[in-house]
Amino acid sequence: MSGEWTAEELAIFKQYHGRCIMCPAKAVTLHEIIPKSKRPRDWNEPDNRVPVCARCHRKIHDIGSKHFVDVLRSLQQSEIRQGSPNQD
Ligand SMILES: [Zn+2]
Ligand SMILES: [Zn+2]
């Protein structure tokens, strides 16, 4: 993680234990669920940003932000079902 993140951004990373939301890798950046261009006023709201690793970030942009919203929704649902297995 670089030292360029704001406290608010670091809090997002922390919320996800510094991990990518798509895989167990370390998150290196924040992806905007709704792109800045479509949500110019509040794109940086915490609920619009998720931590991702470089590889998954590329993948998200490959599948497209619209589809990613569906992926994200199913991820969140399975998380709720499984609970959080390892708290370290
Ligand atoms: Zn990843
Ligand atoms: Zn992105």
Average pLDDT over residues 20-31: 96
- Cα 61 to averaged position of ligand 2 atoms, centre (Å): 6
* Ligand at shortest distance from the CA of 64: 2
Q: How confident is the model at residue 82 (pLDDT cuts 50, 70, 90)?
A: low
Question: What is the pTM (predicted TM-score) of this model?
Answer: 0.79
DSSP-assigned letter for residue 8: H
pLDDT at 73 over 70: yes
- Cα 6 to averaged position of ligand 2 atoms, centre (Å): 17
Chain segment 32-64, per-residue pLDDT in tens: 998 889 989 999 899 999 999 999 999 999 998
Distance between CA atoms of residues 33 and 44, nearest Å: 10
Q: At what angle do helices 54-63 and 65-82 cross, to 10 degrees?
A: 120
- Cα 26 to averaged position of ligand 1 atoms, centre (Å): 7
Q: How confident is the model at residue 14 (pLDDT cuts 50, 70, 90)?
A: very high
**3-state SS class at 35:** coil
Tell me whether strands 29-32 and 49-52 are parallel, antiparallel or unpaired: antiparallel
Q: What is the pLDDT of residue 75?
A: 84
* Ligand at shortest distance from the CA of 57: 2
